[in-house]
Each structure stands twice: as C-alpha cells, then as structure tokens.
Amino acid sequence: MGTNITPRCVNCSRPAESHIGEGRTCPGSAGLVGRHYQTMQLPSGLTCNDCQFMNFCHGFLGREGSETSCDWFPIKFVPDIAKFQKLKQTEGGAA
C-alpha cells in the first residue's frame, strides 16, 4: 500500500501543478518577492554528501550524508565543487 507523496511547496504548501506561469509563482502571491515553487528536495541524483555544508550538518544535525532533502529552510544545499573536481580528475587519470 505504498503511497506517492507529492512534494509540496515550502512557501504555500501546494503541489507544483498549482503554480502559475514560467516562473512557477505561488497562487495568490501577487507582489510578494520570492514566492515561487520550492521544495527541500536536493537536485536529482545528489545527496547531502555532495554539499559544501555536509560536515556542519553531520556534526550539528547528525546527518549521515545519504539524505536527499535538506533540513534547512530556506534550502542551503550548495554543491561541493572541490569534491566534484577531485572526482573528475580521478576519473580522467584512470582513463
């Protein structure tokens, strides 16, 4: 009996389909800055382990690194570029 949970906007609690226009503006938020569809989900294929702040979150929140959503609001996920560059160099050296 698995249920599909639709990610809801952290600004207005509505699903993505109810957001208006190309900018995915929250319904009823005319004139409010920053009111657009936003979830706490990380980009597809990435985990907390791929974030610059992972060490902080591990120490402060006890995160293990396999999580796919951020516990900070607004979302603080910032890809760890140094980690990706090191991985790219390792893969390039093996080729």
Q: Per residue in 58-86, pLDDT tens?
A: 898 888 999 988 888 778 888 888 877 77
- Split into its structural domains, the chain has a count of 2
Q: Are residues 64 and 95 in the same domain?
A: yes
* DSSP class per residue in 66-90: --SB--SSS----B-HHHHHHHHHH
Residue 26 per-residue DSSP state: P
Q: What is the pLDDT of residues 3-38, one digit of tens each?
A: 566 778 887 888 888 887 777 888 777 666 667 777
Which residue range is the domain that position 74 belongs to? 43-95
Q: Is the pTM of this model over 0.75?
A: no
Q: Are residues 54 and 93 in the same domain?
A: yes
Q: Are residues 65 and 24 in the same domain?
A: no
20: helix, strand or coil:
strand
CA distances from 76 to 5, 40, 57, 73, 80 (A): 22, 9, 10, 7, 12
Q: Are residues 9 and 48 in the same domain?
A: no
Q: Are residues 5 and 24 in the same domain?
A: yes
Residues 19, 37 contacting (CB under 8 angstroms): yes
Q: Are residues 56 and 87 in the same domain?
A: yes
Q: Are residues 62 and 17 in the same domain?
A: no
